[in-house]
Structure 1
Amino acid sequence: MTIQGASPDLYNEDLAPAKVRNWGPFSIFNVWTSDVHSLWGYYLAASLFLFCGGFVNFIIAIGIGSLIIYALMNMVGYAGVKTGVPYPVLARASFGIWGANIPALVRAIVACFWYGAQTAAASGAIVALLIRSQWFADFNANTHFLGHSGLEVICFVIIWALQLLIIQRGMETVRRFQDWAGPAVWVMMLILAIYLCVKSGTFAFTSDIPMDVLLEKTKDAGVPGTPGSWTALFAVAAIWVTYFSALYLNFCDFARYAPDQASLRKGNIWGLPINLILFSLVAGVTTIAAYDVYHEVLLHPDQISAKFDSWFLAALAALTFAVATLGINVVANFVSPAFDFSNVFPRQIDFKKGGYIAAVIALVLYPFAPWEGSAASFVNIIGATMGPIFGVMMVDYYLIRKGEVDVEALYREDGEFRFQGGWHVNAFIAAGIGAIFSSILPNFTNWLPSWWGVYGWFFGVAIAGVIYYVLRTAAVGASAKVAKA
C-alpha cells in the first residue's frame, strides 16, 4: 500500500505497511520456537513445574494457559495481517498519532529489560562451560567489576555484540536466523532429556521430588497455595499467559509479513499450544531426571550441563542454548523497540538505529541486573505493566471499530486519529486506571490481597478495556447527538 499525504513525522519506510509478505506458517511457527526455546523460557517452565507438584497437573495448567495464549495471539495477529502495520502505528488508532508514542516507549523499555535478562542468561551458559577449566574458574573467582565477575562481564559483552550483527541486515535476516535457531534448541533439549533419563536409569512422568523440597524452592515466589493445589495450578496458567504479555502487544510486528490469516493460524497452532505443551513436557521430564541424578532441583539448563562428565556434550548444550537465547532476543527484544523508537522520531531513527538504542540501554542496565531473582515474580511485575495497553487496543479494534481501520489516516496529522491534539484522552484514562490496579497497587502497597499480583495482567486488561469501552461509547454517542442537532 502506498500512503498518500503521509506526514514525515509519522512515516518512514520501516513504519510503512508491509509490502513483502513471505512469512509463511513455518516462519510464524519459528517466531514462537525462538521466543520460548531459550534459557529463560526453560527456567520459567521448570520453575512452574515445581508449583504443580506433579506432571499431570503441570500439563493441565500449561495446556490451559497455552490455549489462552493462542487465542490472544490470533486476535493481535489478525490486526497485523489486515493492516500490515507494526505495533506502534496500530496503537495510533486507539491512543492518537502522538499519544501512541507512550505505549510504544513502554513496550520498548520492557524489551530493554528482557534484552538484558536474555543476554545475561546466554552469557551465563558460556560462563558455566568455561569455568570447567581451572584457569577460567580462577579468573572468574578472583576478578570482579560492575557488580559481576570479570568473566561474566566479558561473556555478556561478547553475546551482546553478536546480536548487533544479526539486526544489521533487517527483518529478512531476522526471519532466516529464527528459522534456524528455533529448531536447533529443540534438538538440544531432547539430547539433554535423553542423556539425563539414561543416566538416571528411568523415564518418569511422575515426580518424586519431596514436598518439603518443593515448599522450600517455591516459598518466596508469591504464588498462592501449596504445590499441586488448585490455586497454585490457576496461578501457573496465569503466569504462563503473562510471560507472553509483551508479544501480545507487538506480535503484529511479525504477523504483518504473513500472506493471510490462514498462514498465521497454522503457524500459531503449531508454535503455541502444540509447541508450548511439548516444550514444557520436555522441561518437566528433564527436571525430574536431573533431580534423580544429582539429588537437587536444577532449574537452569546451564546448571545441568555444567555437571556433565562429557566436556563435548556440555559445550554443545551451552552453545545451543546461547544461540537459542540470541534468537528470542532478536525476535522479541530487538524488533519491537526498533519499531517503537523509530515511531517516536521517524525522521531520525530507522529500524536499525532503534535496535541499537535498545541494545545500549540493556548494556547500561547490566551492572544493576534488575532481572535477577524469582522468575515468576519478574514475569508478573514486567507483564502487568502492559495489560492495560492491550485491553485498550483490543477493545478499540474489535468492539469499537469492528476490525476496520483507515490505514492511511494512521500516517496523517489531520486525520481521524488526531483526537485531542494527537492524544486520545479516554485511552489514557482507561490505561492509567488499569495500571493502578495491575501494577501500582499490588507491587507498591499492601492494599490488595497477596494473590492479586499473580493475576495483575488480567486485571489490567479487563479494567482498562471496560473503562475504555464505556468512555468511547459515551463519546461516540455524544458526537452523534451533536451532529443531529
Structure 2
Amino acid sequence: MNNKDSYLKSPDLLPISSEERNIGPKGFAVIWVGMAVVLAAFAIGGSGVQSLPLGWVIVATLIGSVAIGIFMTIIGDIGVEHGLSFPVYMRAPFGTIGTHIPSLVRGITAACWFGLNTYFGATAMNGILNILFGFNNWFICFIVFAALQLINTALGIKAIERFADLAAPTIILISAWMYASLSDQAAEQGREIWSWVESPVTGGAAFTAFMVVVMSNMGFWATLAADMPSLSRFFKAPKNERNWFKRNKSQIVGSIIVMPIVNTFMIIIGAVSYIAVSNFDPVVALQEAASGFILGILLLMIVFAQWSTNTSANVIPAATIFSNVGGPKVPFWAAVLIAGIIGIAVQPWSLFDVIVPALLIIGGILSSIVGILFTDYYLIRKRRVNVNDLYVGNGQYKYMNGFNLAGMIAWIIGGIASYFLSSYSFIVGFLVGAVIYYILGKYWWFKKYKQAEIEDPSDEKYLGITVGRDWEILEEEEVVAVPEDLNPQI
C-alpha cells in the first residue's frame, strides 16, 4: 500500500460498522435539542418582525426548517447506508484531491459558527463574573470559554453527549422563561407580540421578506444538510432493511420533527426579544429582562446552550474535515485546535450584525454541494458506492489528477447563481448544482472515467447496510490515533 493510500485512511475517517452505531431516535432527538438552541438564530426572528407579523415569521420558519430537515435526512442516508463521513464521500463527486476545496469551505464555515456561538457564551460568562465578582473582560472570557469547548471536543463524542444530556433540559427551561418574561415586557410597552411590526410591508415586498426568512432558516442549517453523513454514520439502522424510511427513522425523528420545533421556538424568542427591547442579541435581551441572581442563572444557561451546540454541530464537523485534508499527520485533537484558531481569528464579535445576508450567501454556496451530493448518490450511483476505492489513491475516484471537473464546475455555477438570486439562495443553488452535475456527469465525465457501481449497479457489491454489509477498510500500521471515546453511546 503506497503513502497516498495511507493518506486517505485516517482512522477517524474509516467506515463505521453497525456494531459501532449507538444513536437511536431518542438519542438524536436529545442531540438536536442541544444543537438547535442556537442563540444566533435570534437574529432571524428579530429581522423577520421588522417587516412581517410574528405569525408569518413562524410559518416561514417552519417551512424552512422542515425543508432543510428533509434535505438533511436525504443526504444523511449516505452515512446510514455506508457508514461514510461527509469528506470521504465527497471524493466521489469531487475527486480524492478536489474534495478538499468544498470541504474546506464547509469546515471554515463551521469554525466561524464556533467562534460566533463562543462569543455569545463568553459575553454571558462575563455577565456572570461581573455580577459575582465585579470582573468585566469579555475577551478573556472568550478565550477561556473557547479553550474549555475545544478540550471537551478533543476528549471525544461521548464526553460531548454527556454534556448535552445535562444541558438539554436546562436549555428548555431558559427558553421558556425568556419567552414569558420578554412577552410581559413587550405588553408593558403596549406592544402586542402577534401584531406588532416595526416597518410593515405588503404585496411583493412582503413575499420577498417571507422568503428571506425561509431561506435564512435553510441557510442557517445548510452546513449540516451537506455534512449530515458525518453524524448519521453513528445512527442505528436495521441490517437488510430495504425500506428507506425505516432505515432512516432516527434521522426523521430528529431532523424533520424535533429540529423544526426547537428551531422555531428560538426564532420566536428572537422576534419577541426584538419587539420587547429592540435588540435580538440574547445577552442584551436577558440583561433587559432580569437582574441579580436570576440574571446570573439565566446567563449560565446561555453558556450551557452554546457549549452544547458548538461541540456537536460545529467543532466536530470542522475537525473531521481538517483531519481529512491533513491526513494522518493531523490527528483529531490537532484538527480541533485548528478549528478553534480559525473561529477566534475571524473576530466573531464583528459578524453578528451581518448574519442574515451572510446566511443567504453561505446557504447558497453549500446548497449547490447538497444538490451535487443528491444527484451523485441517488440519481447517478443509485445509492451504490465502490467504497473500497474511496480509500485508494489510484482508484476510480482519482479521475483527472484527483479532480472531478463535473463536480467542480457544477459547484461553482450553482454558487454563483445562488449569489445573484440570494432571496431564494438555497433552492437556486441546490437545483442549479444538481442539474448541471447530472448533465456533465452522465453525458461527459463518467463516460470518460468509468465508475464500477454505475457500469454494474450490483446490490451485493456496492450497497451497505441494506444488504447487511459493514465496509471494512484495512488500516496502515503507522497511523495517528484519535480519541478512543469517539463513538457515541446513546
Shorter-chain TM-score bucket reads 0.7 to 0.9
Could you say which residue in structure 2 is the equivalent of 1:462? 431
Could you say which residue in structure 1 is the equivalent of 2:52? 52
Could you say which residue in structure 1 is the equivalent of 2:295? 314
- Give the alignment's TM-score, normalised by structure 1: 0.82
Aligned AA (2:80): V
Correspondences of 1:3-42 after superposition (within 5 Å):
7-19=5-17, 20-42=20-42
Question: What SS does the corresponding residue of 1:85 show, helix, strand or coil?
Answer: coil
| Equivalent residues of 2:216, 2:360 under 8 A apart | yes
| Equivalent residues of 1:126, 1:318 under 8 A apart | yes
* Cα deviations by residue, 1:66-124 (Å, 9 ceiling, x for unpaired): 22122101111111111101110010111111211112211111112111111112112
| Equivalent residues of 1:77, 1:255 under 8 A apart | yes
Correspondences of 1:120-159 after superposition (within 5 Å):
120-131=119-130, 135-136=134-135, 151-159=137-145
Identical amino acids, percent of aligned pairs:
25
Question: In 2 relative to 1, CA 39–396 (structure 1 residues): closer, same or farther, beyond 3 Å?
Answer: same
| Equivalent residues of 2:273, 2:280 under 8 A apart | no
Aligned AA (1:303): V
Could you say which residue in structure 2 is the equivalent of 1:449? none
Tell me which moved more, 45-54 or 426-435.
45-54
Q: Distance in 2 between matches of 1:88 and 1:302?
A: 35
* Cα deviations by residue, 1:248-303 (Å, 9 ceiling, x for unpaired): 11111110000116474345435544442355246526744874xxx532312212
Question: What SS does the corresponding residue of 2:328 show, helix, strand or coil?
Answer: coil
Could you say which residue in structure 2 is the equivalent of 1:351? 332
Could you say which residue in structure 1 is the equivalent of 2:483? none
Could you say which residue in structure 1 is the equivalent of 2:343? 362
1:276 lines up with 2:260 in the alignment: yes
Could you say which residue in structure 1 is the equivalent of 2:210? 233
- RMSD over aligned Cα, in angstroms? 3.1
Could you say which residue in structure 1 is the equivalent of 2:221? 244
Segments of structure 2 that go 5 or more residues without pairing to the other structure are 238-244, 456-490
Could you say which residue in structure 2 is the equivalent of 1:446? none
Total equivalences in the alignment: 440
Q: Distance in 2 between matches of 1:279 and 1:436?
A: 28
Could you say which residue in structure 2 is the equivalent of 1:382? 362
Q: Distance in 2 between matches of 1:380 and 1:224?
A: 22
Shift of 1:320: 0.8
Question: What SS does the corresponding residue of 2:315 show, helix, strand or coil?
Answer: helix
1:436 lines up with 2:416 in the alignment: yes
Question: What SS does the corresponding residue of 2:12 show, helix, strand or coil?
Answer: coil
Question: In 2 relative to 1, CA 46–178 (structure 1 residues): closer, same or farther, beyond 3 Å?
Answer: farther
1:410 lines up with 2:390 in the alignment: yes
Tell me which moved more, 242-251 or 24-33.
24-33
Aligned AA (1:327): S
Could you say which residue in structure 2 is the equivalent of 1:471? 440
- Give the alignment's TM-score, normalised by structure 2: 0.81
Could you say which residue in structure 2 is the equivalent of 1:85? 84
Segments of structure 1 that go 5 or more residues without pairing to the other structure are 141-150, 443-451
Correspondences of 1:283-298 after superposition (within 5 Å):
283-284=267-268, 287-288=271-272, 291=275, 296-298=277-279
Aligned pair partner of 1:453 in 409, 422, 431 = 422
Shift of 1:471: 0.8
Could you say which residue in structure 1 is the equivalent of 2:179? 193
